[in-house]
Chains A and B, each alone.
Chain A
C-alpha cells in the first residue's frame, strides 16, 4: 500500500512533529521505499504465530516481586514523594502560554 504526503501530515500531527513541505516529500519517498520492503510480511501465511510467542515466555522466569522481599517504592503513596500533588494528579510547572484556570 502506498503512503501519501497527506498521510505523512496526519501522522506527523499525531506524533507532534512538524515538517516543511520539502521534508514531507522526502519522508513520503523514504517511507514508501521502506514499506515496500516491509510488505514482504504479507507472504507470511495466516496460520499460527502468536501462540508460539506466548509459549516462548516460559523461557524467561519472570519474578514475582513479593518473593524478592524488597518493598516496591513505586507502590508508595504519591503524596509522600511528589513535589506537588492535587486530587490524584501530579502538578507540573505550567507550559508557556497556558494560564492557570483558577477553579481548583
Chain B
C-alpha cells in the first residue's frame, strides 16, 4: 500500500476547502507569482533539483523547509536582512536524512525573523497569508511551512518549534504539526534561537504525513550533543494504533472561563470522540501553567541575546561599511527587525548585573516547577489534551503593534518546550470559517502515544464524511 493510498482525508480539510492534491513545482511557482500568491517561499528549487538522490520511504516526495534550517544550494536567510542571500556551507542533519530517504526539497519557507514571532509578520521579506482566508495570519513562526501544506503545495514540511512555532501555525492553517521531545531530532544545521528550547518539528497534511516525516528525521547525531541515542519507533504505524484504554488528562488551567464557548464546544466534542475511540478522560491540574509565558520570555530572550551576538558583520552574512569596528557592529545589527531587537534588549537586560537573580534565576525555578507539573501528571495519565491556541488565526496586523498580546497567544504551547516534552496539533473543527487545533502533550519520548491519539481523532472526523 502506498503512502497516498493510506492517507485518509478528513472531513475538516474538506470543510476548510483545501485541495491537498500535490502540486508540481511549475504549478507552485505559477500560483505564488500570481495575485493568489501567499508569500510562502523565500526561495524555490530549480526543476533539476527535484531528482531524488536515493530510494527510500520518501522517494520523490517534495518537502518544504523552513528557512532557518541549513541547506546547500538554496540560501538560508532566517527571514532576516542580516542573512539576506546567505549560503550555508553545509546541510542540516535533518536535511541529509530527508535526502537519504529520497525526498526532494521544493523550497525554503517564510518565517518570523529567526523564529521570533507567532504570525510570520516579522519576516523581513513580508508576511505569509493564511491559505484559508488571506486576511488572516498563518501563525508562526513556521507560518510558511504550515501554509505550504495547507495550500496543497506539498504534503510535508519541516519547521522548528521553540515555543509553539510548529503546532500553532499548524492549528491556524488546519494541518498537523509535531514538536518532538527535546533531543529526538538533531539540531545540527538549525540556526539557533534559544538552544535549550529549539527543536525541529514536522508539518503534514495528515497525522500519517507528519509522523512519517518525523520517523525519517529522528535519531542520534554525533554533531549535536543534545540529541539522544535512543531507538526510533515506527511513528507511521503509531498513526493507526488503537487508543483503547488510554487515559487522557484534561488540565483545568488550559480551559479557562474566558475560552470562547464555541471553542469549548469543539473541544468537548473532541473529548467525546476520544472516549468513543476507547480512551478514558480524566481531569488533572498543571498548577504552574500561569508562569509559563513570563518564564519563557525571560529564558528564550536571554538565550537569543547570546545566540544572535554572532551576527556582527565579521563572521556571517551582511557587513556594513563603516569608519570603525563599533560602528560596523551597530550598522550591521541595525538590519535586525524590531521584534528581534526588542528580544535582544529584553534578553540582555534580564542577564545584566543586578537583574539576573530577579529574572533569569526565577525563570529557571519556574521552568523546573512546570516540568515537575508534567512529571506528576504523567504518573496519573498517559497523555494530555488541550487547545493548541486560545483562539483561531487572528487578522493580519491585529497584534503586530502589541508584543504582549502576541506573546500571550503562545500560552498553551510554551510549557511543552520548557519541559522538553513532545506535542502534536491536529485539526478538530472550524470557528468562524477558520480551523481550530487540538493539542496532545505526552511524556518524554511518548511521541507514539500522541500520534496514536491524534490519528484516532483524525479518523473519527473522517468517518463522518
A contact set with B: CB distance below 8 Å: 1, 3, 7-8, 11-12, 14-19, 27, 30-31, 33-35, 37-42, 44, 48-53, 56, 59-63, 65, 68, 70, 72, 92, 95-98
Contact = CB atoms under 8 A, between A and B. Distances in A.
Given A44-B366, A56-B371, A68 B344 contact: no
Given A18-B334, A40-B291, A92-B314, 19 more contacts: A1-B358, A15-B305, A15-B333, A17-B330, A31-B342, A34-B346, A38-B298, A44-B288, A49-B368, A50-B365, A51-B368, A52-B369, A56-B372, A61-B230, A62-B226, A63-B229, A68-B220, A92-B315, A96-B323
B290 A63 contact: no
A37 to B, nearest CB: 6
Most chain A beta-carbon contacts within 10 A, residue among B227, B313, B362 = B362
3 shortest interchain CB distances as A-B pairs: A49-B365, A53-B368, A52-B368
Q: Which of the listed residues B288, B293, B294, B359 has the most CB atoms from chain A within 10 Å of its own CB?
A: B294
Contacts of B212: none
B431 interface: no
Contacts of A7: 349
Contacts of A72: 222
8 contacts: A8-B345, A27-B342, A38-B294, A40-B290, A41-B366, A52-B368, A60-B228, A61-B229
A11 B358 contact: no
Contacts of A92: 314-315
Contacts, number: 150
Contacts of A18: 330-331, 333-334
Contacts of B315: 92
Interface in B275-326: 288, 290-291, 293-295, 297-298, 305, 309, 312-315, 321-326
B294 A37 contact: yes
B352 interface: yes
A42 B371 CA distance: 18
Contact of B369 (A35, A49, A61): A49
Contacts of B371: 52-53, 56
A39 B290 CA distance: 12
Interface of B is mostly: helix
Contacts of B344: 15, 17
B444 interface: yes
B329 interface: yes
B187 interface: no
B218 to A, nearest CB: 14
A101 to B, nearest CB: 14
A42 B355 CA distance: 13
Interface in B361-376: 362-369, 371-372, 375
Interface in B187-223: 220, 222
Interface string B132-156: 0000000000000000000000000
Given A31-B345, A96-B328, A63 B220 contact: yes
Nearest to A70: B222
Contact of A12 (B325, B327, B345, B375): B345
B439 interface: no
A42 B366 CA distance: 10
B222 A65 contact: yes
A79 B415 CA distance: 44
A19 B362 CA distance: 29
B334 A96 contact: no
Contacts of A34: 297, 346, 403-404, 407
A35 B301 CA distance: 12
A11 B325 contact: no
B220 to A, nearest CB: 6
A11 B368 contact: no
A7 B353 CA distance: 12
A92 B319 CA distance: 14
Given A60-B228, A61-B229, A96-B322, A41 B329 contact: no
B403 A30 contact: yes
